[in-house]
Amino acid sequence: MIDTDVFDTDQLGYNFFPPAAPHTVGHSQLKVIIRPAPTEAHYDPESLTCSVAGRFGGVEPLRVHHPWLLDTAYRVCAGHVTLDDRKGKRVTAFTFGGELHIEAADQRTVCRLTSPAPILHASRLEDSLQQRLGEEVEILFAERRAAWLGAEEQFERRLAQADPLALYYACLAALCQKFDCDMEREDDIDHALRHFLRAALAARSADAAIETPPLAEVV
Q: E strands of 105-196, at which residues?
A: 109-122
User: Chain-wide mean pLDDT for the chain?
Assistant: 89
Determine which helix (DSSP H) or strand (DSSP E) holds 34, and give its type and residue range. strand 27-34
Average pLDDT over residues 40-47: 92
pLDDT tier for residue 8 given thresholds of 50, 70 and 90 = low
pLDDT, mean of residues 97-121: 97
In whole angstroms, what is the distance from residue 149 CA to residue 124 CA?
Answer: 30
Residue pair 107/35 in contact (Cβ under 8 Å)? The answer is yes
149 CB contacts (<8 Å, ≥6 apart)?
none
Q: Which domain holds residue 178?
A: 129-218
1 domain-assigned: no
Same domain, 33 and 80: yes
CB-based burial label for 22 (10 Å; 0-12, 13-18, 19+):
exposed
Overall domain count for the chain = 2
Q: Which residues pair with 29 in a beta bridge?
A: 17, 114
117 and 78 in one domain? yes
The CA-CA-CA angle for residues 139, 47, 132, to 5°, reads: 25
Instruction: Tell whether 64 is covered by a domain.
Output: yes
Q: Which residues contact 138 (CB under 8 A, 6 or more apart)?
A: 94
State whether 109 and 145 are in the same domain.
no
The verdict on 17 and 103 lying in the same domain is: yes
Position 2 in a domain: no
CATH of the domain at 69: 2.60.15.10
DSSP state of 18: P
Q: Among 60, 88, 122, identify where a domain stops.
A: 122
Domain boundary residue among 94, 122, 150?
Answer: 122
| Within-domain flag for 4 | no
Same domain, residue pair 104 and 138: no
Q: What percent of the chain has pLDDT over 70?
A: 89
pLDDT tens figures, 185-212: 556 678 889 999 999 999 888 775 678 8
The verdict on residue 114 lying in a domain is yes
Type of residue numbered 112:
R
Task: Give a yes or no: residue 26 inside a domain.
Answer: yes
Last residue of a domain, one of 92, 122, 152: 122
pLDDT recorded at residue 22: 82
Model-level pTM? 0.91
